[in-house]
Each structure stands twice: as C-alpha cells, then as structure tokens.
Amino acid sequence: MRMDQHCYLTYNTIERLIMHARKVKNKDMDQQITPSGKVITIRAHEVILKGRNRSLFMKALVRNIRVATNGLGVDKVTAKGALITAYLAESHDWNEIKTRLSGVFGVQKFALAYTLAPKITTLEETIATTIQIQSSQTFAVRATRSQKNFELSSSDINAHIGAYIQRFVPSAGVNLTNPDVVVHIDVLDREMLLYYSSCTGPGGLPTGTSGRVVCLLSGGIDSPVAAYHVLRRGAQATLVHFHSFPLTNGVSRDKAIDLAERLTQYQYNSRLVLVPFASAQQHIITSVPAALRVVIYRRFMVRIAERIAVTENALALVTGESIGQVASQTLENITSIASAITSPIFRPLIGMNKQDITDQAKHIGTYDISKLPDEDCCSLFVPRHPAVKTSTPLLEKIETRLDIEMIINEAIKGIEIREFTYP
C-alpha cells in the first residue's frame, strides 16, 4: 500500500516537474523572441507609391528620422516595406520625440508601441496590463497581419481581442466607425506590435530627395509658408532675404533669421543669404517713375536670386505670391517680374487666400514671427497708386536708364550668409 502510494506520488511529482519544465522552456523562448522595451512604429506616406527608386526615398526618410531624434534616446532606426521601426533606449524623451517626428516630411503616422512575441496568449497578457479603455468609452480593434502563418486571421484577432477586452471593461461599447479608442495590432514576421493611439505626421516626401531651390524670404506671412510647401515636396531650400538696412531699422533682418531657424526644423540644415538692397532702391528711385518702382524692385530681386541660385546649384526660385493679393501680384505684374529671368519660379500659394495662408503659418510655427512689425524693403518708398498692369516691353525700356549689371554685382558683393542646423 505504501509502495503503491509512493509510486503514485512519484509519478505525479514527475509529471509536475515535466509540466513545469515545459512552462519554463516556453517562457524562456518567449523572452528570447520578444524585444525588450517599447518601440516607435512609423508608417511612410507617399514614399510607398514609388517604384524602383523607393529604396532611395526610404533611406532618406530613415536618415531624416535619425537626425530629427538625435539625442533623445533612439538607439536604432530600421525600415521594412512601408514600416519603419525606431528602437528606444530605456531612457528616452517620448514627448520631444513626438514633437520632432510630427515635423519629419515623409511620415504619415507614428505610435509608441509594445513589442510582443507573436502569440495570442502574449497579446492577451499585455492587453490585460496596459488596457487604456475607460468604462464610458467605445473602442474598436484593428489588426493587420503580414505574417500569414499566425494562428488567427485579422478578422479573428479583431473578434477575439474585442471579446477579451469586454471581460475587463464590460460597460465599454464597440464602435467600428468612430470609436473613442482604437486598439491597433500589427502581426509581423518575428514580432507583434500593440498600440492604442497614433500621431499624425506631415506626409509628403523626405527632405533632400527633390533637389535644391532658392526661396525668397520676405519676413511676412506668405513666403515662409511657401518655403514649407516646397520642403514638404522633398526640396532643400536656400533662403534669400532682401533688406534695406541702414535705410530701415533692421528688424526685417532679425525676423528673417528667426524664420530661417524655424524652417530649419523641417530641413535640418539651412543657409540664409542676406542681401543688401538699399543701394539698388536708391538707383531705381532716381530713374524710375513712382508707379513702376515696386515691380522694378522685384525684377531686380529675382535677377539677384537667380545669380545666387547658380552658386547654390539650385534649379528654381520660390516666392510667396498669390494672385491679386497686392498690386505687384496681378497676373500682368507676375508675368512682367518673371520675364526678367530664365529660371523657373514656383509659387506654391498662387491660388490661396490670405486666411488660408495665415492658418498654415500658425500651424507650422512661423506666424508669431512674421506678424511682428517691421519695415519691409518693398514697402519703402512705395507710391500711393502703384501700377497694377505692366508689360515686359515697357519695363525693359524703363530699365535702359539703369546699369543692371552694376546694381546686381553691388548687391551680391555685400551679401551676408548665416548657417543653421537642427536639432
């Protein structure tokens, strides 16, 4: 009897030991395949629409993400397909990372995610300890599955985890159309990502993938927004500001420097070219009828900017012009100004109204700088009734009174260059 009992106990003991060993083994395996800590999952925007050269755009985007998050505890950034993963150190500044990623062109959305072993039980355990759904809220589960060998399909994951969540929060409702909280689950080849909310990026193309342009930066509301738009299309911008110091108080120069610093947050390296324009204006005032001066000013500005573009290896100029906004921006005057050079001039704001431009300036952080009062060089000596309809032949005839090359060379000789980097 004792012998049988002893044998029975021994048998049960062995069975328990075997089961325990299996649990330990499975736990160890989970630990081996589960990355430690959290990651940032980042989805690219229109980069994914590129064909054979997609890898070049993705490399540029990864590079820009690394630059933008430098010094914030991001250990490594990798890309696979349209998904970019930023691995975090134990000590990281998520709030500042979030702020900087929100300005990286090419990013569609991003989120702080938990990394898990690709097992439904592991997913359940993590949700149980990280759930962020209140009793009064609605939720939806949205799973994607690139690993087709996973034990459940995407729709099965949605249903299974949805029911699992309701065990913890019975009063939470399901709303698949407009939920308060979205539980995102991405099943990848070697891991699973879980996150509850995502942040929106600016989209567009990675800065530095579309060549260089020269942006005329007036110091007003419009031109920084125009620069932002071309940066969002992947261009790198050299910024050019014309000032009339010492005929003016120099505030416009200070504003241009502040605006250049702000725009550098979107392109990481900027060059600001400060061009003295007072002498050119004095020559123009003495030889040009008052009604034509503003248009002549601008013809000389684009000529000088074109010369700078050659030295900067830039392929086009960018201005903040919008049709009909001021006298110099009628179709006739825009055409007359453009005829002074052969380089293309991009006008990203051409069809926008002032309120739309102002709203965008507030969004990108340039409005508070631009609205500061200053003495713009083009407002200096402006006539009460400037011409709204000029023609190229008329302006060319007037300009025969001026030494065009001397005026251009004098301005270029006096330029000052400022360099900016970010972060």
175, 224: one domain: no
Does residue 39 sit within a domain? yes
User: From residue 75, how far is each of 67, 70, 87, 266, 268 by CA, in Å?
Assistant: 12, 9, 6, 22, 20
In a domain, 337, yes or no: yes
Do the domain assignments include residue 42?
A: yes
CATH number of the domain at 150, please.
Answer: 3.30.2130.30
Asked which of 179, 200, 221 is the last residue of a domain, the reply is 200
Do 310 and 283 have their domain in common? Answer: yes
Residue 121 lies in a domain: yes
Looking at residue 23, its pLDDT comes to: 46
Pair 154, 179 in one domain: yes
> What pLDDT sits at residue 11?
34
pLDDT for residue 377? 59
Claim to verify: residue 401 and residue 308 sit in the same structural domain? yes
Q: What is the pLDDT of residue 163?
A: 92
Query: In this structure, are 193 and 228 located in the same domain?
Result: no
Residue 162: closest CA among 136, 189, 142, 188: 142
Say what the pTM is. 0.85
Query: Considering its fold, how many domains does the chain have in total?
Result: 2
Whether 22 is in a domain gets the answer no
pLDDT for 384:
77
In a domain, 25, yes or no: no
C-alpha–C-alpha distance, residues 170 and 384, integer Å: 72
Same domain membership, residue 126 and residue 178: yes
C-alpha 81/C-alpha 136 separation (Å) is: 38
Strands ordered across the beta sheet of 317-318: 345-346, 317-318, 212-216, 236-243, 269-276, 416-421
Rg (CA), the chain: 30
Task: Compute the distance between CA of residue 162 and CA of residue 153 in angstroms, rounded to an integer.
Answer: 14
The SS3 call for residue 375 is: coil
The answer to whether position 417 is within a domain reads: yes
The residue among 200, 226, 254 that closes a domain is: 200
Q: Are residues 340 and 290 in the same domain?
A: yes
Residue environment code for 38-66, b if the CB has 16+ CB neighbours within 10 A, otherwise e: bbbbbbbbebeeeeeeeeebbebbbebbe
**365 and 217 inside one domain:** yes
Residues 90 and 176 both lie in one domain: yes
Same domain, 387 and 303: yes
Question: Where among 150, 177, 200 does a domain terminate?
Answer: 200
Q: What is the CATH number of the domain that holds 252?
A: 3.40.50.620
Are 130 and 42 contained in the same domain?
yes
Taking only the tens of pLDDT, the chain with its 423 residues reads: 444 433 333 334 334 433 443 444 344 333 333 334 689 999 999 988 888 888 899 999 999 999 999 999 999 999 987 889 999 998 999 999 999 999 999 999 999 999 999 899 999 999 988 888 888 899 999 999 887 788 899 999 999 999 999 888 888 899 999 999 999 999 988 889 999 988 999 999 999 999 999 999 998 999 999 999 999 999 999 999 999 887 777 788 999 999 999 999 999 999 999 999 999 999 999 999 999 999 999 999 999 999 999 999 999 999 999 999 998 999 999 999 999 999 999 999 999 999 999 999 999 999 999 999 876 655 656 677 899 999 999 999 999 999 999 999 999 999 999 999 999
Q: Within this chain, do residues 193 and 222 fall inside the same structural domain, yes or no?
A: no
- CA–CA separation, 57 and 206 (whole Å): 7
pLDDT at 168: 81
Domain containing residue 150: 34-200
Other beta carbons within 10 angstroms of residue 29's beta carbon come to 12
Residue 127 lies in a domain: yes
Contact 146, 187 (CB under 8 A): yes
